[in-house]
Amino acid sequence: MSLPTYEEADARAREGSPFSNGTEDYAWMGNWCGRCIHDAPTRRDEWDKGCPLILIAYLGKTPAEWLESDPLSLADRYTCLMFRPEDDPGPDEPTPVPDPAGQLTLCPREPYERPARMYADTRLIPERLP
């Protein structure tokens, strides 16, 4: 699942700022966005390629992709469904998954595909390989 555009994320975001103050903001974003592949361009000063979910939060809404996780933890208050560590090579399958070659398509797939990916680390973990 790819990162939503700003417009898509804004349309489904909840009203209300996700953080009460700058300390909460810095603690959470430092733990999540600070090591996420989606905001890596801003760490290289490419400000126009930053994560749209952060912009949503800065403009006073809470992205739907941020699930309440641990309200007592500054660093883990939310779980971001779109988080990917910078060293994550990504899923093996391309997204969206292409239709099989030579097959007819009876109906469009997009309305039936999940709006957000499950939170899963896609890196290979040698101990879990068959």
Characterize the bridge pairing of strands 61-62 and 14-15: antiparallel
The one-character DSSP state at 80 is E
Per CB under 6 A, the segment of 13-21, 32-40, 68-76, 121-129 that binds ligand SF4 is 32-40
Per CB under 6 A, the segment of 11-19, 34-42, 69-77, 107-115 that binds ligand SF4 is 34-42
Q: Is 36 in the site for ligand SF4 (CB under 6 A)?
A: yes
C-alpha closest to that of 81 among 41, 103, 126, 51: 51
Interatomic CA distance for residues 111 and 108, integer angstroms: 7
Task: Print the binding letters for residues 82-101 with ligand SF4: x by CB under 6 A, - otherwise.
Answer: xx------------------
Amino acid sitting at position 82: M
Q: Which parts of this chain interact with ligand SF4 (CB under 6 A)?
A: 32-33, 36, 38-39, 51, 53-54, 80, 82-83
